Amino acid sequence: MNTKSIKILLQHLLLVGLMFFLNSCANTAEKSNKAETKTSLYPSAVFPFFNEYKLILGDGSNAGHPIDFESKDFFFATNDGTQDWVVYKTPNAGNTHGTSNNTRTELAQSKKWSAMTENKMTATCKVMNVSPTGDARVAASYSVVIGQIHSADGHENEPFKLFYKKFPGHTKGSVFWNYEINTAGEDNSGRWDYSYPIWGYDFSVVGTDKDTYPEEPKDGIKLGEEMTYEVEVKDGIMNLKFMSEGHETKTFTKNLIQSEYATKADMPKQVQNLFVPIGQDGVEREKAYTGEGLFFKQGCYNQTNGKDPAVNRVWCSGAETHGGDVQKQYADGNYAEVWFKSASLQISDAAISNAGYFSANDGLSKKVVYPNAVIPFMDKFKILLGDGTHVEDLVEFEHKDFFYTVIDGTMRWVAYKTPNSGVTSKNSSNTRTELHEKREWTPEQGGKLSGTCKVMHVSTSGDARVAASYSTVVGQIHSGSGHENEPFKLFYKKFPGHTKGSVFWNYEINTAGDDNGGRWDYSSAIWGYDMSVVGSSPTDFPAEPKDGIALGEAFSYEVNVYQGIMYLTFTSEGHETKTFTKNLIQSAYTTKADIPEQTQNLFVPIGQDGVERKNAYAGELNYFKQGAYNQTNGKAPEKNMVWCAGAETYGGDIAKQYENGDYTEVWFKEASVGAGTLPDKN
């Protein structure tokens, strides 16, 4: 073989060797990758009981039985250097499950059982993070629930919730458990929790203002500090045990089938202080959770949310949510994270499928619940929205900017919202999202309207000298003939910086003659001031009313017109019930001498000094209105110092008005309309 042949042979061998080497590397890498895939640790490998649970993720979805499953955002396994853990993580805001306001990455047992059978859940865990933002006055702020017993039936209440809560700046947090009553009757909005401290404080210990915290608990638990809990239910009795190294072991016993809260007198002081002020003052069924299917839950149920504390001062935290952007919340700590290293479940052989709970709650937060599902009289009304849109058929109708349903933590409400400036009705300077009754009736024929509502917001801008500033009308009687005046208007008004506002009602005269320019209102205070109480300058406000109503505080009204007489009743928990009677078919203001002093001070200076027809509204067609009729507008006060509020309107840009607080919002949880009735003389 010559030199050239040898050289070619060596090059060939070298090429073959190189290819073999590269192939070998590729095969090694492929094998390595395969091995890495095979050894990837799923949560179900850490403790294998996930076939007993379905997993709800922080995006509201049901992931089913999470066998060989992970979600890098919400549910995954990790190792802390010595031990494998299952991680549950969820933000302050995202899509929720069922009717909850709070996100969760949480296991929910796929079977339910009776409290009379034997069932047990245990776990060892550590809380790694809770939200650093929220309102310190709100009990749920900075907290997470890590274990529950939940009812699958009835009101779906929770006889056991295990919390961890740590205030910002503290090293140690509190561990406590809550018992939620199984409310008697059909209305569950009065339900409340009683809280038991384990280490540190109970649920009721809150801050004195938004950013002021209680002292750090001396016997509290740190983030990253392990604890173990056992929850056993047998023969109707729940036995609880809580353990953590260096801390006293705590045990509790609670009867789940015989209530200790069946009367108002049984309500604990803690509940009276925390829940009663927000209207949650129910009593429990005598047999508590007897006959209901119960099931365990475990994981990370974030109790800190972004909802306005004015909605509910126990459950709505007002925390940072970055508009629901999960990654931004994770980036700056606005999430809850809990790690579990072990857990076990023992359930009765008599347990049955819990499929009904999941079918009722999966995807519920994404389903549209129309206002007529909450208040079913919508077929009797049409509506004018805050952008001037008229809608005749309100069955299965909503508008996300103006007319929709909301949940306040306890129940669903119909929300009416409208800006300071938009498209208005033909004779008004004010926007409204307001129902308009289709039926018309005379005072002699009569009619009745009732409602239970809470005003959530009024404009934060306006002129304090203008009587209508910072106010909204939540119910009316409107005339549909003659001058089309209003014999009844129910107002809520709150000056900026005040906690409490005023509720008052106005009677507008049905002006005599053809000229309606002299019409005026007479205002009667219900709680707080009447309409005539104004500021001495654009930014100078009167003292806060002592007996007023706060934003988010519910009140009820009934307007009953019977045989020409209007009977008014106003009620609110913790406030004196007020009643009024007004004749709608015989005037009290037929001469100048009849004009009240209030009117002389408020309306006469602007030239509104008319007198009323002797028979007032007799024979005129009337109709009810209900919703949010914003009385704060952008018109210059110099034009009319009673009705032109000079508020901010951003050129009519509705989104900007909503963003900057220049709107009104009213929620109703119940209402009725029908014929007038003979009033109860008792």
* CATH number reported for the structural domain that contains residue 522 in this entry: 2.60.120.200
- For every residue of 30-88, which 3-state class applies, written as one string? HHHHHHHHHCCCCHHHCCCCHHHEEEECCCCCECCCCCCCCECCCEEEEECCCCEEEEE
**Angstrom distances, CA of residue 646 to CA of 240, 451, 650:** 60, 30, 12
For the segment 195-221, the average pLDDT, to the nearest whole number, is: 97
Provide the pLDDT confidence category of residue 142 given band limits of 50, 70 and 90: very high
Nearest residue to 410 (alpha-carbon basis) of 268, 202, 201, 552: 552
Provide the pLDDT confidence category of residue 278 given band limits of 50, 70 and 90: confident
pLDDT tens sequence across 383-415: 999 999 999 999 999 999 999 999 887 788 999
Antiparallel, parallel or unpaired: β 403-407 and 390-391? unpaired
Give the pLDDT confidence score for residue 682 in this predicted structure: 58
- Is pLDDT of 453 > 70? yes
> Which residues, 6+ apart, have CB-to-CB distance to 299 below 8 Å?
55, 88, 104, 105, 106, 107, 146, 338, 340
Q: Where are the beta strands (DSSP E) in 293-410?
A: 294-302, 335-346, 352-353, 381-384, 390-391, 403-407
- Report the 10 Å Cβ neighbour count for 17: 10
Q: CA-to-CA distance for 347 and 295, rounded, in angstroms?
A: 9
Q: Where are the beta strands (DSSP E) in 70-171?
A: 75-79, 84-91, 104-109, 111-112, 119-129, 143-151, 160-165
Domain count, the chain: 2
Q: CA-to-CA distance for 618 and 581, rounded, in angstroms?
A: 16
Percent of the chain predicted with pLDDT > 70:
93
Are residue 409 and residue 274 in the same domain, yes or no?
no
- Is pLDDT of 174 > 50? yes
Query: Which residues face 334 on adjacent strands?
Result: none
pLDDT tens sequence across 601-643: 999 999 999 999 999 999 999 999 999 999 999 999 999 999 9
Residue of 489 and 12 predicted with greater confidence: 489
- For every residue of 526-546, which 3-state class applies, written as one string? EECCCCCCCCCECCECCCCCC
Q: Which of 77-81, 98-102, 596-600 has the lowest mean pLDDT?
A: 98-102
Are residue 538 and residue 487 in the same domain, yes or no?
yes
For the segment 586-612, the average pLDDT, to the nearest whole number, is: 97
For the segment 428-446, the average pLDDT, to the nearest whole number, is: 95
| Residue 21 domain flag | no
Are residue 316 and residue 447 in the same domain, yes or no?
no
Which secondary-structure segment (H or E) carries 253? strand 250-255
State which of 307, 342, 366 marks the end of a domain. 366
Are residue 310 and residue 454 in the same domain, yes or no?
no
Nearest residue to 125 (alpha-carbon basis) of 255, 225, 40: 225
Q: CA-to-CA distance for 487 and 479, rounded, in angstroms?
A: 8
Give the pLDDT confidence score for residue 39 in this predicted structure: 45
| Residue 17 domain flag | no
Give the pLDDT confidence score for residue 612 in this predicted structure: 98
DSSP 169-183: T-SEEEEEEEEE--B
State which of 322, 341, 366 marks the end of a domain. 366
| Residue 33 domain flag | no
For the segment 86-113, the average pLDDT, to the nearest whole number, is: 95
Q: Which domain holds residue 623?
A: 371-674
Query: Which residues face 239 on adjacent strands?
Result: 232, 253
- Is pLDDT of 75 > 50? yes
| Residue 10 domain flag | no
Give the pLDDT confidence score for residue 427 in this predicted structure: 67
Are residue 426 and residue 314 in the same domain, yes or no?
no
| Residue 151 domain flag | yes
Give the pLDDT confidence score for residue 65 in this predicted structure: 97
pLDDT tens sequence across 654-670: 999 999 999 999 999 99
Buried b (16+ CB within 10 A) or exposed e, 103-133: bbbbbbbbbbbbbbbebbbbbbbbbbbbbbb
Q: Left if phi > 0, otherwise alpha if psi is -120 to 50, otherwise beta: which for 652?
A: left
> Which residues, 6+ apart, have CB-to-CB distance to 532 below 8 Å?
467, 523, 598, 601, 602
Are residue 340 and residue 310 in the same domain, yes or no?
yes
679 DSSP assignment: P
In the numeric block, the tokens 């740190």 are attached to 222
| Residue 12 domain flag | no
- Report the 10 Å Cβ neighbour count for 270: 17
| Residue 31 domain flag | no
Specify the length of the chain in residues. 682
Are residue 206 and residue 234 in the same domain, yes or no?
yes
Provide the pLDDT confidence category of residue 32 given band limits of 50, 70 and 90: very low
- Is pLDDT of 261 > 50? yes
Q: CA-to-CA distance for 413 and 31, rounded, in angstroms?
A: 59
- Is pLDDT of 256 > 80? yes
- Is pLDDT of 516 > 50? yes
Are residue 60 and residue 196 in the same domain, yes or no?
yes
Q: CA-to-CA distance for 549 and 491, rounded, in angstroms?
A: 12
Provide the pLDDT confidence category of residue 547 given band limits of 50, 70 and 90: very high
359 burial level (CB within 10 Å; 0-12, 13-18, 19+): exposed
Provide the pLDDT confidence category of residue 425 given band limits of 50, 70 and 90: low
Calculate the average pLDDT of the chain: 93
Q: Can you read off the two tokens belonging to residue 118?
A: 């034997």
Q: CA-to-CA distance for 477 and 629, rounded, in angstroms?
A: 13
Q: CA-to-CA distance for 360 and 293, rounded, in angstroms?
A: 14
Q: Which of 222-231, 275-284, 598-607 has the lowest mean pLDDT?
A: 275-284
Are residue 329 and residue 401 in the same domain, yes or no?
no
Q: Can you read off the two tokens belonging to residue 22?
A: 């590269």
646 burial level (CB within 10 Å; 0-12, 13-18, 19+): buried
Q: CA-to-CA distance for 638 and 425, rounded, in angstroms?
A: 22
Give the pLDDT confidence score for residue 650 in this predicted structure: 96
Give the pLDDT confidence score for residue 9 in this predicted structure: 42
Q: CA-to-CA distance for 513 and 7, rounded, in angstroms?
A: 122
Nearest residue to 119 (alpha-carbon basis) of 237, 240, 234, 239: 234
- Report the 10 Å Cβ neighbour count for 652: 15
Q: CA-to-CA distance for 154 and 424, rounded, in angstroms?
A: 44
- Is pLDDT of 2 > 60? no
| Residue 682 domain flag | no
In the numeric block, the tokens 């705590």 are attached to 250
- Report the 10 Å Cβ neighbour count for 426: 5
Q: Can you read off the two tokens belonging to residue 545?
A: 């009313």
Are residue 600 and residue 627 in the same domain, yes or no?
yes
Are residue 250 and residue 396 in the same domain, yes or no?
no
Provide the pLDDT confidence category of residue 244 given band limits of 50, 70 and 90: very high
In the numeric block, the tokens 């103006």 are attached to 402
Largest CA distance in the chain: 137
In the numeric block, the tokens 């299917």 are attached to 293
State which of 366, 397, 427 marks the end of a domain. 366
Model-wide pTM > 0.85: no
Q: Are 150 and 158 in contact (CB under 8 A)?
A: yes
Provide the pLDDT confidence category of residue 355 given band limits of 50, 70 and 90: very high
Q: What are phi and psi for residue 11, nearest 5 degrees?
A: -60, -40
Give the pLDDT confidence score for residue 423 in this predicted structure: 79
Percent of the chain predicted with pLDDT > 90:
88
- For every residue of 347-376, which 3-state class applies, written as one string? CCCCCEECHHHHHHHCCHHHCCCCHHHHCH
Are residue 272 and residue 409 in the same domain, yes or no?
no
Q: Can you read off the two tokens belonging to residue 337?
A: 């994270």
